[in-house]
A and B are shown apart, each in its own frame.
Chain A
């Protein structure tokens, strides 16, 4: 990418042709593909995590018991490209306020007899979270998180080697043969998705199964999802589908339902992988209002330039003083 080209890139705001913005010939590239993850039908089976690991040959990340509900995966990372979050919260927090949301011992579950917390079995999770269920003392949310494949991707913007690139499908992918492990993408991501694999030295994250997409196949996680919580397709179509689902849930009285990452006007220009959530994003470990850092790159360079000018002035003044 030439300097001129990188100056011409749009850095934030709405962008309808991400591939065109990245230099693909307009009209020649396939449509932008992505995920719509409808967490209201997620059952927490983790088939997506397993399918992702298997297909992409991602190394294991250790066996660690986290104490965080059924979530021993804990977070997205270099070797975790799908992560199912489990949120357990008491339905009436005032009666059992232990001070630590979600960290409750089995005692939280009033129906608990055999040790395992009982899920609102057989019930639509959305309904349970609406507060209708009274046999379970716990509201249980599950959500399969993934790289957002942002419209304005900070990881891609800051990558100094060009290893991270925008594919013809509008997704963001690392080229392992180019990455030199500088780690700049890691703190740049506003969602905390990408990370360096320690033993390898390079950065890794979800590729949205680039290899499968090129063959016209569905990404492994979406293929494996038994409830169609993870839906794969053209982003424009997924957005319509998400709007319909949201309207349907609101009609049913599930007021807590909201879309996350669907708005093309948000801080990252909308996500290629977006979600329907049943609580505030931060409850799932997602930032409530993420912004691509490079939105401010103009201001950053302006201040860097001014400070360099100040340094020159300090230098000049230091010598002028001696000629008095």
Chain B
């Protein structure tokens, strides 16, 4: 198996060109959609609490709805992805810090309950005090809900995910903020959408910066983020995010322009998750991404050892 590559070390041996790792069995679109919805819902909960504090009712309603609906839909996708969906409650049997899926279940479960309670109280006007308390709780669980999904994919042997564990949480944080801000831009009148616009633009900037850092640091393992189907998805998403963020920043006074920019940001955020997901699958399927970096590591270790021996 010899691939044309700019990196000379890419010559490597394999067993009939077969992949070494198993391809993740997580389903598309279930899991990428869950990653996206978690980002949208968690960031929306933050937006909702800010709106409540500043008395921005139109924004509060949209953000509370997005938080509760996003968490509910995300949970459905997560449960649907299980090989034995009827056993989804087994997720809450234990709490293991070494398993982001376990920790995540203990973030998602309270977040779903609290964001739904906050929305119910907001819509019905009942128990307003308890509703606000639930909203504050949802806003506290929101940011971890957005970023833990990066740990979910990074805590695997999949090279393009694992080696990106420093940047992926920031990519997901930015992408979640731009989705939540984008959805509010789409649904909230111009007079009330100021905070949403700022969140969308800041989130987009964070996502684009973190993605760029990720690609620069990963070297050969950045290939799946730049080439093939996953590369195309990542490129599409960053172009849409950059364009829509610029549009939102400059044309925010127009309802129509804001709506277009907002919708584009939401879609781009989803595409980012599909891109990251596919990049991981691509890196698991090709033995090159397992063998070449690991060989390099062994070589470096041996070189250090002989050098150490020489200096003694």
Contact = CB atoms under 8 A, between A and B. Distances in A.
A11 interface: yes
Nearest to A288: B294
B95 A3 contact: yes
Interface residues of B, number: 88
Contacts of A240: none
Contact of B156 (A99, A187, A311): A187
Interface string B1-39: 110000000001111111111111110000000000000
B284 interface: yes
Interface residues of A, number: 85
Contacts of A77: 22
B198 A178 contact: no
B158 interface: yes
Interface in A13-28: none
Contact of B147 (A200, A307, A323): A307
B117 interface: no
A316 B288 CA distance: 44
Contact of B294 (A287, A296, A317): A287
A238 B181 CA distance: 60
Interface in A309-324: 309-312, 314-319, 321-323
Nearest to B294: A289
B13 A282 contact: yes
Where chain B touches its partner, the secondary structure class is helix
A293 B97 contact: no
B312 interface: no
B101 A158 contact: yes
Contacts, number: 274
A296 B162 contact: yes
Contact of A180 (B91, B172, B195): B91
B53 A188 contact: no
A295 to B, nearest CB: 10
B258 to A, nearest CB: 15
A319 B50 contact: yes
Given A161-B90, A188-B157, A289-B294, A183 B20 contact: no
B199 interface: yes
A252 B98 CA distance: 45
Contacts of B53: 319
Interface in A115-168: 154, 157-163
A195 B23 CA distance: 9
Interface in A177-200: 178-184, 186-196, 200
B16 to A, nearest CB: 5
A66 B54 CA distance: 66
B87 interface: yes
Given A179-B84, A300-B165, A318 B202 contact: yes
A6 B198 contact: no
A287 B291 CA distance: 6
In the A-B complex, the 4 residue pairs with the smallest Cβ-Cβ separation, listed nearest first, are A181-B83, A201-B83, A285-B15, A307-B169
Interface of B: 1-2, 12-26, 42-43, 46-47, 50-51, 53-54, 81-85, 87-88, 90-91, 93-102, 105, 142-144, 146-148, 150-151, 154-158, 161-162, 165-170, 172-173, 176-177, 181, 194-196, 198-199, 202-203, 206, 280, 284, 287, 290-291, 294-295, 297-298
